[in-house]
Structure 1
Amino acid sequence: MNQASLYQRANQVQRHDAKLILEQYASVLQWRTDGQDKLIDVGSGSGNVLMDFVHPLLPKSFGQLVGTDISSKMVGYANKCYGKKFERTHFQVLDIGCEELPQRLEGQFDHVTSFYCLHWVQNLRVALQNIYRLLRHEGGDCLLVFLASNPVYEVYKVLACSAKWARYMRDVDQFISPLHYSKDPSAEFSRLLGEAGFVQYNVEVRNEVYVYEGVRNLKDNVKAICPFLERMPESLHEEFLDDFIAVVVSMNLQQQPLVVDDAAQAPQNVERFISPYKLVVAYARKSPDFVGSVLCEVPRQQAHKGVD
């Protein structure tokens, strides 16, 4: 997760989902009447999702936009790309699963967003308590999007049992979403939101499928997010990725090749790989009366709703 430039190029799934979800929730967020909104994003990575899809939604007079990530390399890359180009915007290191939230951040924000981050945090209870504390004492809201389950976790489990890769993957369970084996991830996450103090919340678990066109495309995506590659010599990376693809094929996650007919070249068969995954989309409010707004009905059926 420290290869920021590669992640910037290979996070198509994250960008696709963030764009769609923000389009649906843009009118639901509790925007301030004075346009001075302050927003903090958790797990911003290379920063392109935040700046391409969240930043345009902010009022022109917004107060502050803060991107955060646990990786100092990601934060450095994001600041280099965006920090100096956009006013009132900067990136900083933050571990949302920390036991003690930095005091300078407590109660400072009107909104918290997070895309494809919380499945990296094993203690969701602590993470949600920290998100609650980031919001202003008088209220605020959050939009949280993360994986409940993904076949990549099962691929990791298989590879971790291999004598070749076991030494690099002994803690594989620490990199599997805490909701991956949950029988009812929507109900479980709803309960955690309520325990954290949120008074209104909607939690939906969506069944999604993404198709990777070509082996290289899939390998690049895996390379950008796989936490185990940085533990092994670079000379082993391609062999690991080859074994990853082999497991994917054995799990019947490969589709019939797509025939690409290019007039300048002979027809080519492009291998396609499917990734069926469950995505948690959660919206929560700290106070129903903050800035006099009323909870709008999200334009999709919701699985769980909090009680006012």
Structure 2
Amino acid sequence: MTFNRVKTFYPTAYAFASQFFEGVSKAMPLNQKDVLLDVGCGTGTLTALLSKRVGRVTAFDISPEMIKQAEEISTAENITYSLGDATKLSTNEEYRNSFDKVLSYYVLHWIKDFKIVLEGIHQSLKPGGQCFVNTTHSDPNVIDSIKALNGYTSPKWETFMKGYEHLYYPFQGSVDEFEQMLAGIGFKDIDCTRDIPKYFLKKDEGKAFLPNFMGQLERFPEDRREEYIKDALTFVFDTAEEEYCFTFPVITAIARK
């Protein structure tokens, strides 16, 4: 995600978090005694909702901008925010065997070798503790609009886009292979599923939402970025429809230590 554009992500992020919070809490039941770790909390929209169902939440993200926005969204006394790298979770002795529940919500696909994150989650759980993790799954139609945006170019923009690789890594294997990876790490009672949820946004909401995922913007001079965004969004939203549907093939796993 393009962190310096995160404020435009607020309304949509909250709508998504609210929409799917009940699904998370149903799959991984929460109670007021739980100590929960939120891995890659982002803007903290889901963190704020979780804090109302558990005793304490520790939430971290690699981006200072994200943590700042999370602190603005909720100042609940039972939330502790910090900077942290999910790939270093397994080396954090303070977190080892410390959490009843761990959440990693739409985080893993931003990390190339995310198995190390799953290993860190396992180490951070108390014996018998439970985690909820999900990641987008490789599919010909996965996040079509975001892929289109990040692949968009024209002679006008070729100089800036040359050699660009979008940092996005959906899981390439099957559901069984994902479950086998979790079992190999040491998880048990694994419930692993694949779904293709649909997210509906008004066209204006989509135009505010999608630029957050345009990592290529960092390649453009500040005075050319808005022009590029306008061209790219015209490319994606060249339709008479007023509502836009995003599809995210997702693998979700609930597992215990």
Coarse TM-score class (shorter-chain normalised): 0.7 to 0.9
Give the match for residue 261 of structure 1. none
Deviation at 1:120, TM superposition (A): 0.6
Contact 1:39 1:112 in 2 (8 A): yes
Q: 1:165 to 1:112 in 2, by over 3 A?
A: farther
Give the match for residue 56 of structure 1. 52
Look up the equivalent residue of 2:33 and give its one-letter code: Q
Deviation at 1:156, TM superposition (A): 4.4
Give the match for residue 267 of structure 1. none
| Greater Rg by CA | 1
Give the match for residue 209 of structure 2. 221
Deviation at 1:162, TM superposition (A): 6.4
Deviation at 1:12, TM superposition (A): 5.2
Contact 2:90 2:124 in 1 (8 A): no
Q: Which moved more, 1:162-171 or 1:18-27?
A: 162-171
Give the match for residue 131 of structure 2. 142
Q: Deviations over 1:50-107 (max 9, x none)?
A: 112x12222xxx2x3111111011112323442xx32231111121123853222222
Partner of 1:241: helix, strand, or coil? helix
| Cα separation, 1, equivalents of 2:34 and 2:81 | 17
Partner of 1:170: helix, strand, or coil? coil
Give the match for residue 107 of structure 1. 97
Q: Which of 211, 222, 238 is residue 200 of structure 2 equivalent to? A: 211
Contact 1:7 1:225 in 2 (8 A): no
Higher-helix-fraction structure: 2
Partner of 1:228: helix, strand, or coil? helix
Gaps of 5+ in 1: 258-270, 287-308
Answering whether residue 78 of structure 2 is matched by residue 78 of structure 1, we say no
Deviation at 1:46, TM superposition (A): 1.4
Q: 1:9 to 1:166 in 2, by over 3 A?
A: farther
Partner of 2:88: helix, strand, or coil? coil
Partner of 2:122: helix, strand, or coil? helix
| Cα separation, 2, equivalents of 1:44 and 1:69 | 6
| Cα separation, 1, equivalents of 2:154 and 2:133 | 32
Answering whether residue 226 of structure 2 is matched by residue 238 of structure 1, we say yes
Deviation at 1:224, TM superposition (A): 2.8
Q: 1:278 to 1:100 in 2, by over 3 A?
A: same
Residue-pair matches, total? 251
| Cα separation, 2, equivalents of 1:277 and 1:155 | 14
| Cα separation, 1, equivalents of 2:223 and 2:188 | 51
Q: 1:134 to 1:158 in 2, by over 3 A?
A: same
| Cα separation, 1, equivalents of 2:170 and 2:235 | 22
**TM-score if structure 2 supplies the norm length?**
0.84
Q: 1:8 to 1:126 in 2, by over 3 A?
A: same
Q: Deviations over 1:163-202 (max 9, x none)?
A: 71563573424x22332xx362x22321221122101211
Answering whether residue 30 of structure 2 is matched by residue 41 of structure 1, we say no
| Cα separation, 1, equivalents of 2:41 and 2:27 | 18
Q: 1:171 to 1:17 in 2, by over 3 A?
A: farther
Q: 1:129 to 1:227 in 2, by over 3 A?
A: same
Give the match for residue 69 of structure 1. 61
Contact 1:199 1:284 in 2 (8 A): yes
Partner of 1:155: helix, strand, or coil? helix
Gaps of 5+ in 2: none
Q: Deviations over 1:136-167 (max 9, x none)?
A: 2x231101133223214531452268671563
Q: Deviations over 1:196-242 (max 9, x none)?
A: 2101211111112222212x311211123332324423322322223
Answering whether residue 235 of structure 2 is matched by residue 276 of structure 1, we say no
Answering whether residue 7 of structure 2 is matched by residue 11 of structure 1, we say no
**TM-score if structure 1 supplies the norm length?**
0.71
Partner of 1:65: helix, strand, or coil? strand
Q: 1:157 to 1:76 in 2, by over 3 A?
A: closer
- Where does 1:178-193 land on structure 2 (aligned, <5 Å)? 178-179=170-171, 182=172, 184=174, 186-193=175-182
Partner of 1:273: helix, strand, or coil? strand
Q: 1:165 to 1:21 in 2, by over 3 A?
A: farther
Contact 2:160 2:220 in 1 (8 A): no
